[in-house]
Chain A
Amino acid sequence: MRTIAILVLGLAACTGVKEAPPSVPPQAEPVVVAPPAAVAAPPAAVVAPAAVVASPAAAPPQPATTGKETVATAPVAGATAPSKDEAAKPAPPPVKAPAKAAAPSVPTEPSRKDPAPSPVAKAQEPPLDVAALTARLRDTKAIGTFTKLALKNQVDDLLGQFRAHYQSGRKTGIDSLRQPYNMLILKVLSLLQDSDPALARTISASREAIWSVLADPEKFNSLT
Chain B
Amino acid sequence: MTARTRASVLIFPLAALFAGPSPAAEDATLLKDLTSVIMLLGLPCGQVVSAKRQADNDHIASCKNGYRYRVFVNPEGRVVAQKQ
Interface residues of A (CB under 8 A from B): 1, 4, 7-8, 11-12, 15-16, 19, 22-23, 26-27, 30, 33-34, 37-38, 143-147, 149-151, 153-154, 187, 191
* Chain A residues with CB below 8 A from B30, complex form: 26, 144
Q: Chain B interface mostly helix, strand, loop or mixed?
A: helix
* Chain A residues with CB below 8 A from B26, complex form: 23, 26
- With A4-B9, A143-B36, A150-B37 as known contacts, state yes or no: A15 contacts B29, CB within 8 Å: no
Residues of chain B in range 1-56 having any CB-CB distance to chain A below 8 Å = 1, 6, 9-10, 13-14, 17-18, 20-22, 25-26, 29-30, 32-34, 36-37, 40-41, 56
Is the beta-carbon distance between A146 and B17 smaller than 8 angstroms? no
Is the beta-carbon distance between A187 and B40 smaller than 8 angstroms? yes
Q: How many B residues, CB 8 Å from partner?
A: 29
Q: Please tell me which one of the listed residues A22, A34, A146, A153 contacts residue B71 in the complex, with CB atoms under 8 A apart.
A: A146
Closest beta carbon of chain B to A141's beta carbon, Å = 9
* Chain A residues with CB below 8 A from B25, complex form: 23
* Chain B residues with CB below 8 A from A30, complex form: 33
Is the beta-carbon distance between A150 and B57 smaller than 8 angstroms? no
Is the beta-carbon distance between B73 and A34 smaller than 8 angstroms? yes
Summed over the interface, the residue pairs from A and B with CB atoms below 8 Å come to a total of 80
Closest beta carbon of chain A to B27's beta carbon, Å = 9
A77 to B30, CA, bound (A): 41
* Chain A residues with CB below 8 A from B78, complex form: 149-150, 153
* Chain B residues with CB below 8 A from A144, complex form: 29-30, 32-34, 36-37
Closest beta carbon of chain A to B58's beta carbon, Å = 10
* Chain A residues with CB below 8 A from B22, complex form: 19, 22-23
Closest beta carbon of chain A to B72's beta carbon, Å = 9
Among A7, A153, A187, A191, chain B packs the most CB atoms within 10 A around the CB of A153
Closest beta carbon of chain A to B30's beta carbon, Å = 7
A37 to B76, CA, bound (A): 12
* Chain B residues with CB below 8 A from A1, complex form: 1
* Chain B residues with CB below 8 A from A143, complex form: 33, 36
A7 to B14, CA, bound (A): 11
* Chain B residues with CB below 8 A from A22, complex form: 22
Closest A residue to B71 by CB, please name it. A146
* Chain A residues with CB below 8 A from B18, complex form: 15, 19
Closest B residue to A149 by CB, please name it. B79
* Chain B residues with CB below 8 A from A38, complex form: 77
